[in-house]
Structure 1
Amino acid sequence: MTLTPAPTRNTALPLLDTEVLRTFVVIAESGSFTRAAEQVFRTPSALSMQIKRLEETLGQRLFLREARRVKLTPEGEVLLSYGRRLLKLNEEAVTQFLAPSLEGTVRFGTPDDVGSRILPGVLAKFARSHPAVQVDVVVGRSVDMLERLDRGELDLVLVTSGNQGVQSDRGEIVHTEPLVWACLDGGIAVQRTPLPLALANQGCAWRSMALSALDRSGLAYRIAYTSENCAGQEAALLADLAVAPLPLSMVRAPLREMNNEAGLPPLGEYQVLMIHGTAAGSASEVLAGHVVDAFRGLR
């Protein structure tokens, strides 16, 4: 492909098309023209033509086509950073003029171990687009969040399915993830009998899933450590004092996932549900949309 040299300083610089930039970012993030085409509802050939014109405009090759995926060139990596920022700025500008002006307060409840993964990004984005809305965040157990929602004290809550009192068909499923057994890599806690466990307090979905699976398997265990959140569980794992059930995405070195060791039963998947209060208003609905987008970005 012959690429046009970049314009000189005396030449008017071309403007980048926002839709083409969005296509470029989706391809870069998915690693595939085919997968990107499914997301933007166009054909792979149409996306290929867009990228070809973009490469000609910039005078740089942006992608390397490999057997089963595409890979960014160094120039493509630079454009990806610019593209994300430009799209974000475009969204903020359009929202400023076209989105309805929102005011008031949204009372948002979430379990710590779930909300902490998305809250910083969600709150920052929501504050930029709707600065007049106050967001009150309450952190606690899923069962407590649900009770407060039913009493009208909260407008929007996240809960994990599997808890007592949490019905999986009551809310919208916004995230699904495998729950796995975790331990210290190279540790010996898994070899102890009965098996020492580090669990969250009662009311945690991960705790109830783990205990139910162990009881069905007949494996001997003891609850050695409990904590309000998974930070305490991780501390026990790092000290090689116990094993624990954790979401797969939270198992990071020096921890590791345990695969069929010591007869440990599989735990399956847990779900994060988003439930709206009966009196939730427009601001709550907008915040809910940001929450859904944030979880989608975790997949």
Structure 2
Amino acid sequence: MTVAKARPENASLPLLDTDTLRTFVAIAENGSFTRAAHQVFRTPSALSMQIKRLEETLGQSLFIREARRVSLTPEGEVLLGYGRRLLKLNEEAVGRFLAPSLEGSVRLGTPDDVGTRVLPQVLTRFARSHPAVQVNVNAGRSVDLLKRLDDGELDLALVTLGHSDLSAKRGEVVHTEPLVWAGRDGGVAVQRSPLPLSLANHGCAWREMALGALDKAEISYRVAYNSEHCAGQEAAMLADLAVAPFPASLVQPPLRVLGPESGLPALGDYQIALVRRDGSGPAAEALAEQVVQTFRERR
């Protein structure tokens, strides 16, 4: 058990961080660091570090760690009550000052892979701080989203940028990540010739980067599957029918990254940019700030 350290007289007490409290409550309610990590969109190791710092701050052990689950210590039970009340009070305070000043709607465009990874956290946080603003989400290809933005149909758009897009880059880059080759672990698709590919449709940065790299390396290929959504690419890989260019963070078992030993060329990094429409208004700007902050926290 952690022993509380004596504090010097007149020393100010530490403040509890709201984000850490939210993590603590999520772990307590899920009984698992892994399930809580999915809920707060962080890794289990990042959550462990937060809880370790919280226990050091309070001088108390908060969780009993068992093989398949975690449970609260008596001190953790006490903190859970405080944590829930503090989080609720924080939301009420923010809403009291921000909600009346921002109303209306925001039209946000996003590729589906970005939407599934980041958007739930963005929308959850934005709804807490700006409950009077309605967010309308439109999923699609980056090239189509930019056109809709230029036509005044969207206020904000998250777009994927490949190598050929960088010279004419628009907006603010909010995320950079390696693009890798992925396939079924133990699969044979990568050994076939011509190489079977599962790709998004024309206009996708991942597609452009993959085909350009294969052409440069003079590797023969065939486009076996086309899909508007990355879930379609993933399905073909899971069935060991094809390999695909995929963001490194999305490659999860039973898929694996196909490294240099596979003979496939390196793909490099791709970027995600946030593009604003001129004159989109304060509600759109507030949502843009939340998007940028969310990506920053994931680095």
- Structure 1 equivalent of residue 124 of structure 2: 124
How many residues align? The count is: 263
Measure, in 1, the Cα distance between the counterparts of 2:228 and 2:157: 18
Q: Which residue of 2 aligns with 1:19?
A: 15
Q: 1-side partners of 2:81 and 2:143: how far apart?
A: 43
Distance in 2, matches of 1:265 and 1:80, equals 52
AA in 2 matched with 1:225: Y
Cα drift, residue 254 of structure 1: 0.8
Residue deviations 1:225-252 (CA, integer Å, cap 9, x gap): 1100111111111111110011111111
**Structure 2, unaligned runs of 5 or more:** 6-12, 24-44, 64-69
Q: Report the structure, 1 or 2, having the larger helix content.
A: 2
Amino acid at match of 1:189: A
SS at match of 2:223: strand
Q: SS state of the match for residue 186, structure 2?
A: coil
Once the two structures are superposed, the pairs formed by residues 68-217 of structure 1 within 5 Å of their partners are 75=73, 88-99=87-98, 101-162=101-162, 169-217=169-217
Equivalent position of 1:257 in the other structure: 257
For 2:83 and 2:245, the matched residues in 1 are separated by 35
> C-alpha distance in 2, partners of 1:176/1:134?
29
Q: Which of the residues 51, 58, 62 maps onto 1:54?
A: 58
1:278/1:226 Cα in 2 relative to 1: closer, same or farther (>3 Å)? Answer: same
d(CA) in 2 for partners of 1:297, 1:87: 22
Question: Which ranges in structure 1 are unaligned for 5 or more consecutive residues?
Answer: 5-16, 34-47, 64-71
Partners of 2:203 and 2:76 in 1: how far apart? 44
* Preserved contact between residue 145 and residue 157 of structure 2 (Cα < 8 Å): yes
Instruction: Say if 2:214 is the partner of 1:218.
Output: no
Amino acid at match of 2:141: R
TM-score in terms of structure 1 length: 0.75
Matched, 1:287 2:276: no
- TM-score, normalised to structure 2, is 0.75
Name the CA distance, whole Å, in 2 between partners of 1:286 and 1:121: 15
Distance 2:214 2:78 in 1: 50
Structure 2 distance, partners of 1:79, 1:53, is: 15
Sort the Cα spacing of 1:284 and 1:51 in 2 relative to 1 into closer, same or farther, 3 A: same
Secondary structure in 2 matching 1:175:
strand
Q: CA deviation at 1:210?
A: 0.6
Q: 1:262: Cα distance to partner?
A: 3.5
CA distance in 1, matches of 2:206, 2:272: 11
What is the percentage of aligned positions where both structures have the same residue? 53
Cα deviation, 1:30-49, whole Å, max 9, x if unaligned, reads: 7669xxxxxxxxxxxxxx8x
Q: What's the CA shift for 1:146?
A: 0.5
Instruction: Supply the distance in 1 between the matched residues of 2:180 and 2:78 (Cα, whole angstroms).
Output: 37
Residue of structure 2 in register with 1:38 after alignment: none
C-alpha distance after superposition, 1:1-58 (max 9, x if no partner): 7549xxxxxxxxxxxx7833459669x847669xxxxxxxxxxxxxx8x976622xxx
- The residue aligned with 1:13 is none
Q: Is the 8 A contact 1:217 1:265 kept in 2?
A: yes
SS at match of 2:190: helix
Q: Is the partner of 1:211 in helix, strand or coil?
A: helix
Q: Larger Rg: 1 or 2?
A: 1
Does structure 1 retain, via aligned residues, the 8 Å contact 2:182–2:255? yes
SS in structure 2 at match of 1:179? strand
| Superimposed CA distance per residue, residues 181-228 of structure 1 (whole angstroms, 9 cap, x where no aligned partner) | 001111110110111111000111111111111111111111111100
